[in-house]
Structure 1
């Protein structure tokens, strides 16, 4: 009995175990906790280094507490109030307000100069702690450096997960989150902060992807969309909790300590979590897989049929030599076979671009939401909350209309809504918010669809590695997204135009990919390639 046959038989066993048994619920609850934390970790830099109010320090007048009497003469006005980065130079730097001379007469109102020091508002931010006034590139670079860590984390976690097991990868990544995230709250300077931002993401950001893979491999084909929706809703709850905690605490250091400390608890999964049955079978570890299946059946009060267990029972009877041959087969460069497959190569490139678009637009809209008119915490919560109906929309449409149609429609719709923002009058703040949230809704549906789609088009023995390649390549988008607020300095709607343009291209690319609705997860490269051939046959019929 081959490994491939055994893996195919697993879908039959999962169907008999049922999607909502006690075993599934307990394991899913364990998977959801790191997903909730990941919702906070992925965007914490938005509040950690929030843009706050500040202005030039006018040394000759600062001791005069009545700023209304001299500020208008010392600081030039811009469209949003007083300038943050410019001031009028003093005519005589030796003049002070001690003789009540802090008036328009001591400033040269015909020219301006850059600030040499700043006066910050009472708001909390790393901008204030590390004196980052008028250095927007340094502020936005914090998010870029954090997200660039995913280029290391996702492939690294994927390799560990596919080689040593899902629960090992998840436990180690969560521990790294805890160590580097908690330590970051004690940063004494900007360099220390950004270094720990990178290390926390590089070593720990793969926890979410690993938990997602574990969840997808726990259920059969019919349960994947619901499971994906549940994970995404919990992730959104993490996002909303981030904004709520930031609003409540008003202290980014305390925020980090409260957020990252619970991640250490996930390290205990190394002892309490069961390994993925599908991964164990792909590695030829059938005895362990059978033991977990029987444990799950007992917890779910299900008696598995002899027909479902037959492939595994026959494998149990195989001599150790045969099992070792399977393991040897597994080690014989499956990844090399992937590289040689033109279908899989093109699929990896296509899925990577779809992921780049999703992360760029999704994170871009999330990050820029704090720049909308009104309370930044409320705007962020609304931009996050809109993802909940978006994810439930996925639950109803993906299994009904298929993955391709949904992705095409949502990409194009997101593009239209984002580009339309540039045509709305500036005084239409309500309509701008509606269009903004609608664009976030559309790209969230697309992002959720891509996540589940990519997990369905690659074979089991390299699924997380290839998903990690697509995801890590896709992080080009999330790495660039924190820089998009800088575009708004030149034209308010320039970020939205960039988002829309990329979404149009992604929507057109989806036409070239295969449909995966109600198709069992491919366990071999041949089965993964067959998806494209089957779709071509249907199109030609």
Structure 2
């Protein structure tokens, strides 16, 4: 590994010049829009519109679907016994040809010449659907659910497909993180693009839902790595002062990508065209092969100084800075002289293992609280995103609003956490989201906009809490164990995340039940977060001894009061709220450790 700190290089060529700005916004595109489409397109592709049993006898008589339903479908009942619309999976066991024929109805009769329909009789026996279903086409022309009739007894398929997608992401996250560290960020990025884009296009041609689920599982291998690796590549080109900006802006881009997905779904209305629209355009990303460089920070970590020199010279030229030839070689010589003279020391070589998390009681307590909060944030965030189809309003509108409310949540959080600390902002945002969701059980079902508004407040709160949480988790853990502990915690959260599709599926029994479960989980996470020490304005722990001592005697109701410096970031920000499985990059963490001795590190 070269002895050059790339942050020192950036002092000479610009921490965020024209070159970094161009690369950052170019990399924001694959890190946000394809990633958002990949994660959430199934919300619309596998949507289950309102449905009821098909009755061929009534079809033969030419009876319109809106007239068939009151006659042939039993009334559904809420748990309190009140009417709750029509049953979705049952039909009256009646010979409707005989019933309507005796009432003067006949096939082919003019509607204005036919007598009124006889009323349905609640005493009639009800049986499961035997001839398929009719579907409400107000929001969708065709989805995979309507194409393959994945309702009633087969209604578990979409939830299972979503679960397998996240199973794929668990393993893909580890795989591509390893590839990015071993063979480079650029190689890992293009390997993903060249496989994921064609595979997403192939998914649109799935002949059945089993094949679709297989494709989605393989596609899961690329999420969240397709979000994080381009971001890491962009982040490694910037100086510490601008990582806060980079982290928050990319969160906003992702939220805009979600809103764009809702708009495309509304305009296209067909799962096949939506699948193509959210995959084919990204063939243009292949052109990045001639634009995006390797991370010079990673090249230096591999002692590939000459390759890094070419990129650094280009950065300096585009940024309008002048540096001599062989600039990095000169810096390497100077750095080695300092090390020989004893001017350079580091705690980075102190080894630690995951077992050290369990050996130290205070570190262990903080780790388990953080792991639980990670599960809560991941399940509630993703659950609320997928649950928009169960809110009783247009799926597209609810999903669009759900993406849009994230933008102000990041702005407010950005402001609040630097002034009132991480612990209380995390607690209050999780509490806000949780109480809003739980409150849905206390409001009437109609008007539905009351429930929708509370769900959107819940989404606002949980998006804000995740932005705070990922900063908090990095600050609480000591340097020597940070990457390993975060990797383990994120993997645990990823396992917990596998259950959220089935929480969302509970809406078939009660529309607000998923909101109640997710709200309770968020409130529990808020309460747990109170038992973590504040990190604002605090020197961050580096060794295991410092980590064990950090926060032992903190006061439960304490608040940060000291003013803070705004010079540097302590740890690079890698947003995780799009997926539980955060890919922790060791080289990037190491590159920022030199700033941890500052009293007022800044995180986002």
TM-score by length of 2: 0.75
Correspondence list, 1:485-496, <5 A: 485-496=504-515
Distance 1:314 1:394, change over 3 A: farther
Cα distance change of structure 1 residues 466 and 245 upon mapping to structure 2, 3 Å threshold: farther
1:387-536 paired onto structure 2 within 5 Å:
387-454=406-473, 469-511=488-530, 527=542, 529=544, 532=547, 535-536=550-551
The answer for the alignment partner of 2:203 in structure 1 is: 184
Residue in 2 aligned with 1:371?
A: 390
How far apart, in 1, do the equivalents of 2:67 and 2:518 lie?
44
User: Which residue matches 2:240?
Assistant: 221
What is the match of residue 73 of structure 1? 71
Counterpart CA distance in 2 for 1:437 and 1:449 is: 19
> Pick from 23, 36, 40: which aligns with 1:27?
23
Name the structure 2 match of 1:127: 145
Q: Which digits, 9 at most, give the CA deviation of each residue in 1:57-107, with x for residues without a partner? A: 212222112246654332212244332210111359999969947976999
- 8 Å CA contact 1:182–1:260 kept in 2: the answer is yes
Shift of 1:249: 0.8
Matched, 1:155 2:174: yes
Q: Cα deviations across residues 420-452 of structure 1 (Å, max 9, x unaligned)?
A: 222223335444333222211111011122344
Partner of 2:40: 43
Tell me how far apart the structure 2 counterparts of residues 353 and 511 of structure 1 sit (CA, whole Å). Answer: 13
On the 8 A contact 1:142/1:194 being kept in 2, the answer is yes
- Point out the more displaced range, 423-432 or 390-399: 423-432
Q: Which residue of 2 aligns with 1:211?
A: 230
Give ranges in structure 1 of 5+ residues lacking alignment.
323-329
Structure with greater helix percent? 1
Q: Distance in 2 between matches of 1:435 and 1:73?
A: 36
SS at match of 1:427: coil
Q: Per-residue displacement from partner, 1:342-395 (whole Å, max 9, x unpaired)? A: 278877655443332112111111222222233221111111100011122233
Q: Report the Cα distance in structure 2 between the residues aligned to 1:152 and 1:59, rounded to whole angstroms.
A: 47
Alpha-carbon offset, residue 303 of structure 1: 5.0
**Equivalences, count:** 519
User: Does the Cα contact within 8 Å between 1:171 and 1:268 map onto a contact in 2?
Assistant: no
Q: Hey, what's the Cα distance between the residues in 2 that align with 1:201 and 1:515?
A: 35
Distance 1:455 1:281, change over 3 A: farther
TM-score (norm 1): 0.83
Q: Give the corresponding residue for 1:84.
A: 88
Structure 2 SS opposite 1:42: helix
Q: Give the match's secondary structure for 1:81.
A: strand
Residue 202 of structure 1, CA deviation = 1.8
Q: What are structure 2's unaligned runs of at least 5 residues?
A: 77-82, 108-116, 341-347, 561-604
By how many angstroms is 1:219 displaced? 2.9
Distance 1:531 1:367, change over 3 A: farther
Deviation digits for residues 130-158 of structure 1 (CA, Å, limit 9, x no counterpart): 12132321232232222222112111111
Gap change, CA 1:204 and 1:357, over 3 Å in 2 = closer
1:110 equivalent to 2:124? Answer yes
- Root-mean-square deviation over aligned CA pairs: 3.9
Per-residue deviation, residues 445-484 of structure 1 (Å, max 9, x unmatched)? 1112234455667799998776555444323354322222
Give the deviation of 1:216 after TM superposition. 3.4
In 2 relative to 1, CA 185–459 (structure 1 residues): closer, same or farther, beyond 3 Å? farther
* Cα deviations by residue, 1:262-311 (Å, 9 ceiling, x for unpaired): 33443454553222333333333344344433432332223579xx9799
Give me the whole-angstrom Cα distance separating, in 2, the residues matched to 1:512 and 1:115. Answer: 53
Distance 1:312 1:511, change over 3 A: farther
Contact 1:17-1:300 at 8 Å conserved across structures: yes
